[in-house]
Amino acid sequence: EVQLVESGGGLVQPGGSLRLSCAASGFTFSIHWMNWVRQAPGKGLEWVANIKQDGSEKYYVDPVKGRFTISRDNAKNLLSLQMNSLRAEDTAVYYCARALFGDYSTFDYWGQGTLVTVSS
């Protein structure tokens, strides 16, 4: 059974940092593009970043460029999101999402999400 379990969320002050993790199991992690998608309270979905199977390509949505870094460890089946210089508008539930095999932007499995709250 495919499982994606996020962790690392919490309350952080503006300007602070947080590192999210997504533990993957039940599938061959190294052959899928992986993504982070967020959802602010009461709002819609916003894609954050994705990373190629071998980590050689990464893409980000404009508002997080230069502040967030996506990475992966295929030996540990782990996806990460390092978030720096956090702002109030980064407050959201952050989902880890797997892309379909052979695809990079169709999300066939999602984790349950981890809540990040940026507030003083």
Site for other proteins in 28-57 (CB under 8 A): 35, 37, 44-47, 50
CB atoms within 10 A of CB 2: 12
Q: Which two tokens stand for residue 52?
A: 């190629």
Stretch in the footprint of other proteins (CB under 8 A) among 10-18, 20-28, 82-90, 99-107: 99-107
Q: Which residue has the tokens 């066939």?
A: 108
Which CB atom, from 16 or from 59, has the smaller least distance to other proteins? 59
Note whether 104 binds other proteins by CB under 8 A: yes
User: What is the C-alpha separation between 72 and 21, in angstroms, rounded?
Assistant: 9
Quote the DSSP letter at residue 52.
-
Least distance CB 39 / other proteins (angstroms): 8
Residue labelled with tokens 């949505």: 61
23 lines the binding site for other proteins (CB under 8 A):
no
The two three-digit tokens of residue 78, written as one number: 């782990």
| By CB under 8 A, residue 105 contacts other proteins | yes
Number of residues in contact with other proteins under rule CB under 8 A: 21
